[in-house]
Amino acid sequence: MHIDLTGRTALVTGSTQGIGAAIAAGLARAGARVAVNGRSAERVRAHAAALEREVPGADVVPVAADVTTEAGAEQVAGALPRVDVLVNNLGVFGSADPLEIADDEWRRYFEVNVLAAVRLTRLFLPGMTGRGWGRIQYIASDSAVVTPAEMIHYGMSKTALLAVSRGFAKQAAGTGVTVNSVIAGPTRTAGVEEFVYELVDRELPWEEAQRAFMRAHRPQSLLRRLIEPEEIANMVVYLSSRQASATTGGALRVDGGYVDAILP
């Protein structure tokens, strides 16, 4: 399958590291003009330059803005009057005693993980439907379906994204715009590595720590290892393509078989 996104502009939120960075690279390799986003102008410029080196000839646009605020989202829309592919990747996660999570923390998880994505969808979906083509994706998580006790606030936000995705897919019905969510399983990023070491012996070498974490805390994984960010990106790039034109309103799993169900 040859995926060609030449002529398309993609915005990936939270794309200076981790899964977002891998998605930005995957879209750039497929020929898309890619907007790299983050809050720090310095980090955004540095990662945009790194992406140009990684993918020779890539058309990369650095867009520094805090999309968790209305002003930041409007700033992005001003910098990118046309977006063909919107990947709502930005998110926060962490573990906490569920009885100790304060109201403000619940609000923060909802505002960052859900409302920021809703806001950008409102800004860019009308242009997509007007042009008769577009792709919107939300990076969800296995925690949306199998919510760990220590991550209830995070799981709540990712479950909400599944509803948001399905609802906006209905709003875009028949327009040529597809809307989907991607259920990412336990994935290796710098933040997840730190999270793993919060739960297992910090003296263990990484490979042993990873396997210990999977055995003790994610035993239902059929992959038996953490997913690499590029493996998530592969699904996102496919969903961004013309080949995925009949896939909409879905919650597609790249979870290593973690969710113990045939359907999410």
Is 197 known to be catalytic? Answer: no
CB contact at 8 A, 81 and 73:
no
Tokens standing for residue 55:
């993918």
Nearest C-alpha neighbor of 192 from the set 183, 182, 200: 200
Burial category of 236 from C-beta neighbours within 10 Å (exposed 0-12, middle 13-18, buried 19 and up): buried
Tokens standing for residue 203:
């003296």
| Those residues with Cβ within 8 angstroms of residue 19's Cβ, 6 or more apart along the chain or in another chain | 89, 139, 184, 187, 189, 229, 232, 233
HEC letters along 103-126? HHHHHHHHHHHHHHHHHHHHHHHH
Nearest C-alpha neighbor of 35 from the set 16, 57, 54: 16
CB contact at 8 A, 234 and 220:
no
How far out from the chain centre does Cα 119 lie? 15
Phi-psi region of 52 (alpha: psi -120 to 50; beta: other; left: phi over 0): alpha
Say which of 109, 138, 154, 258 is annotated catalytic: 154
* Residue with tokens 């007007």, as numbered in its chain: 130
Q: Which of the residues are catalytic?
A: 154
